[in-house]
Amino acid sequence: MKIALIQINPVIGDFVGNSRKILNVCREAVKQDCGLVIFPELALSGYPPHDLLERPAFLNTHDQTLSELCHNLPEIDLIIGCIEQRGADTDGKKLYNSAFFIRNGSIMQRIRKQLLPTYDVFDEKRWFEPGNTPGVIECKGLRFGVTVCEDIWHSEIGEYECDPVQTLFSETDDIDCLINISASPFQRGKESVRHRLFRTICQRHNVPLVYVNQVGGQDSLLFDGRSVLMDQNGEIRAKLLGFAEDMLIIDSDDWSGPLHESVQEDNLASLHDALVMGIHDYVTKCGFRSVVLGLSGGIDSALTAALAVKALGAENVFGVALPSPYSSDDSMEDAKALAGNLGCRFDVIPISDLFSSFKETLRPLFAASPSTPSDLTEQNLQARIRGNLLMALSNKFGHLLLSTGNKSEMAVGYCTLYGDMNGGLAVISDVPKQLVYELSRFINREKEIIPLRSISKAPTAELKPDQCDQDDLPDYDILDQILELHLEEYLGVNEIVERGFDREIVKDVLRRVQINEYKRKQAPMGLRVTSKAFGYGRRIPNAQKFQG
């Protein structure tokens, strides 16, 4: 039997558009003589719908669209992730996260997700009730064990009492293939973890495995697709594209199919493609067509601009330089050269006169307190003037403003509220500074796009004479290592010092992380690419005194 594996990029709540996409792919699969087509988790509604699941109208529209979809399906069997309502008089949550097996326009079976993740960015127990039985379907003489996303992750997560895969094989004989429909977000390093997990399951149970994953950006989450077929030995026999919609047909006679060209596991190309996809999908799914951003001549804004042009096209990216009295000629030259290399629109709005006007307006109040000479306040004024001007361009022309701060800066508060933190999307807010350099060199791998001087010069905010980031911060290679240990491995001062770092530096870095939590709560949404990003997956109180 030919089986079509489909990874689609749904829009949450766009039931008409998602259903149309599903129908079109099913019709194409029929033309290719497929007997079964498999879609990802919650493919009809899009994942994750969050508290839309609490709205009766959302659920009723889902069910109505599902009924219409079933009525219009061609003659092909279908496995698809859907919301399942349990009924108002039942105990527990009112919904299941289910895989539906549809044949001849009728729902033949419902396989309910058993393991509901409630950690980091996941909170499925808020809406769903767990299933409690293994799922087996029969199709064209084959028996498929069906699981939904987390159900296959028991051995890796290690916090669940039951193992749905083990239960499936202990209670059911003659499983020909294990299917996992999924909406598994991308993060650096996750692809190799997935493949190791899948390989272990295939070898342990001597069975092929089909993994079908959602693709696309949804707010801060980036779904990479990269669906695979593994044989019973854990060898990859078919693979779909990364970070793009794709359809791939496999054959159950020998459990094989095409190995579509895709980015390799866990490298800079995958990170680059994830960010490009995230920009494109957030901008377009939110109804924008174009973006604006400040170009300082530095590496962060250069990387953000290059990613935006790749995602949206040069004609939809507007770069603006906003030089202050402390901006160097080199920086303005590099900003102009970048825009020329990218082919995007570029304008210059000097802010020196505005800066002088602000200072003059504040002078009577500032002069009344002789103990407060020029300090960080005046530096932040420049950033806030820039932020206001960029927001004005966003409002006037309908551009989405991109903020350009990296994760290292965001972590220690080296950013200005209502200034350079202004924006609708923080593209690289989960990309540490050292990785910013690596990505920039990756973009320049064939020709110079980001000016080399932007990469090689010492990073500086240029908000006072002869300023350099390292006047206030540790070297970024040290800072990034400390931040990774603290933010992603949850280590405190003593544990990080035991890894060989200076105690005073560690204490200062962790202090900065703690006292700047309030800034990050007000930051624009960022694209998640590490195991612990700032945003709703990290819940730290602003007002607290723990300094471990």
pLDDT digits (tens, 9 = 90+) for 473-521: 899 999 999 999 999 999 999 999 999 999 999 999 999 999 999 999 9
Confidence of residue 90 (pLDDT cuts 50, 70, 90): confident
Residue with more model confidence, 541 or 243:
243
Under a CB-based contact definition with an 8 Å cutoff, are residues 433 and 406 in contact? Answer: yes
Per-residue pLDDT for 336 more than 70?
yes
Q: pLDDT > 90: what percent of the chain? A: 84
Which two tokens mark 530?
Answer: 């590490």
Whose CA is closest to 419, among 397, 400, 437, 401? 401
Which two tokens mark 81?
Answer: 């992730």
Among residues 139, 149, 202, 344, the one annotated as catalytic is 149
Confidence of residue 133 (pLDDT cuts 50, 70, 90): confident
Among residues 21, 113, 310, 433, the one annotated as catalytic is 113
Per-residue pLDDT for 367 more than 90?
no
Confidence of residue 460 (pLDDT cuts 50, 70, 90): confident
Mean pLDDT over residues 222-251, rounded? 96
Per-residue pLDDT for 266 more than 70?
no
**pLDDT at site 115:** 95
Residue with more model confidence, 150 or 546:
150
**pLDDT at site 537:** 85
Residue with more model confidence, 543 or 179:
179
Q: What kind and span of H or E run contains 174?
A: none
| Helix orientation angle between 433-443 and 299-312, rounded to the nearest 10 degrees | 50
Mean pLDDT over residues 20-46, rounded? 97
| Cα–Cα dist 148/134, whole Å | 11
Which two tokens mark 176?
Answer: 């020909």
| Cα–Cα dist 304/333, whole Å | 18
- Under CATH, what is the fold of the domain 272-469+516-521? Rossmann fold (3.40.50)
Length of the chain: 548
**pLDDT at site 467:** 63
What is the number of alpha carbons within 13 Å of residue 197 lying toward its C-beta? 20
DSSP state of 337: H
Per-residue pLDDT for 286 more than 70?
yes
Per-residue pLDDT for 263 more than 60?
no
Give, in order, the Cα–Cα distances in Å from 64 to each of 15, 55, 105, 427: 9, 15, 14, 37
21 counts as catalytic: no
537 phi, psi to nearest 5 deg = -85, -5
Question: Which range has the worst mean pLDDT, 155-159, 384-388, 416-420?
Answer: 155-159
Confidence of residue 458 (pLDDT cuts 50, 70, 90): confident
Question: Which range has the worst mean pLDDT, 74-88, 179-193, 297-311, 355-369?
Answer: 355-369
Per-residue pLDDT for 53 more than 60?
yes
| Cα–Cα dist 106/188, whole Å | 40
Whose CA is closest to 439, among 220, 295, 191, 271? 271
**pLDDT at site 261:** 61
149 counts as catalytic: yes
Under a CB-based contact definition with an 8 Å cutoff, are residues 417 and 398 in contact? Answer: no
Question: Which range has the worst mean pLDDT, 230-239, 427-436, 460-469?
Answer: 460-469
Mean pLDDT over residues 351-368, rounded? 91
519 counts as catalytic: no
| Cα–Cα dist 404/408, whole Å | 12
Average pLDDT, the chain: 93
Per-residue pLDDT for 110 more than 70?
yes
Q: Which residue in this structure is represented by tokens 């990774």?
A: 484
Mean pLDDT over residues 267-279, rounded? 96
- Give the angle subtended at the CA of 376 by the CAs of 373 and 381, to the nearest 5°: 105
> Helix, strand, or coil here: 181?
strand
Whose CA is closest to 155, among 212, 193, 211, 99? 193
Domain boundaries, the chain: 2-254, 272-469+516-521, 474-515
**pLDDT at site 87:** 80
The answer as to CATH 3.20.20.60 being correct for domain 2-254 is no
Strands 246-251 and 291-294: unpaired
Per-residue pLDDT for 429 more than 70?
yes
**pLDDT at site 246:** 96
**pLDDT at site 469:** 66
Among residues 21, 26, 34, 41, the one annotated as catalytic is 41
Question: Which range has the worst mean pLDDT, 2-6, 319-323, 370-374, 448-452?
Answer: 370-374
